[in-house]
Amino acid sequence: MFAAQRRDRILHRLRENRQIIVKELAIEMNVSEGTLRTDLRLLEEEGLLERTHGGAVPVKSASNPSLQPAPSRSELNQKEKQAIGRQAAELVQRGQCILLDASSTVFELARCLSEMDYLTVVTNGLSAAEEIGRNPRNNVILIGGILRHGSRTVEGVLGRSILQEVHADLFFTSAEGFTLDTGMTDFSMYEAELKKLMAANASQVVALLDHTKLGRRSIVTSIQAQAIHTLITDSAADPLFLRTLGRMNVIQAT
């Protein structure tokens, strides 16, 4: 990976998560911590971020709105994600067992499901668990693992034994990017491995991907394209890209 590409990924990660941890990102990008620190120093000199002990955060500047802290992951394309979540909720039936990842798009689905009764929901997302757990007639199982710093996401495969006992009807998942060749891809290897386990224990995989994710790829594959039963995107999705998906069940939310 060229230095310019690596720095673009650093800025993208910063926009998504509002902070960077050097140790974590070095593993995910397969580069040394020293290389990342050099990248952060150069980006700081360009006024694109502020370094902290062990990482970096967005620049804060009252005089320059373009340098205000980047929107959080849940704030990006929020209207599109809400539309996708509403559409996805129509696939869920009372009494089903479903798996939910910890993505912000799937959280919008969780908000729609909080009024549905007698669901069994297995998730690694703390926010999704809390949302659906507001209804006492739902059964929520939180997958064990490592709490990712600065987020409400549990990562890792410590919950493998739980997943092996679950036979879910549907697995709803999102990603950083999706192409036919690479499938659904993410920055985190730990997150991708957990999604693979979740997909293996569901009868159907439903991908929730807003239009900005289509045709883009990240570092590691979580779900292969052929394993996806239904892909739900928004009305701004490129029709040419959607036509390349062939017989995959594609739903555009409005």
Where do the structural domains in the chain lie, given as residue ranges?
Answer: 3-67, 74-253
Please enumerate in sequence order all residues whose Cβ is within 8 A of that of 136, keeping only pairs 6 or more positions apart, or say none: none
Domains 3-67 and 74-253 belong to one CATH topology: no
Q: Residue 43 and residue 64: Cα distance in Å, rounded? A: 17
Write out pLDDT tens, residues 134-151: 999 999 999 977 776 556
Between the alpha carbon of residue 187 and those of residues 13, 76, 246, the distances in Å are 8, 17, 27
pLDDT at 67 over 50: no
Q: What is the pTM of this model?
A: 0.73
Strands 20-21 and 55-57 come out as antiparallel
pLDDT recorded at residue 189: 83
What is the fold of 74-253?
Rossmann fold (3.40.50)
pLDDT tens profile 152-197? 777 777 778 888 889 999 999 999 899 999 999 987 888 899 999 9
What pLDDT, on the 0 to 100 scale, is given for residue 62? 42
**Distance between CA atoms of 50 and 59, rounded to whole angstroms?**
5
Please name the CATH architecture into which domain 3-67 falls.
Orthogonal Bundle (1.10)
pLDDT at 74 over 80: no
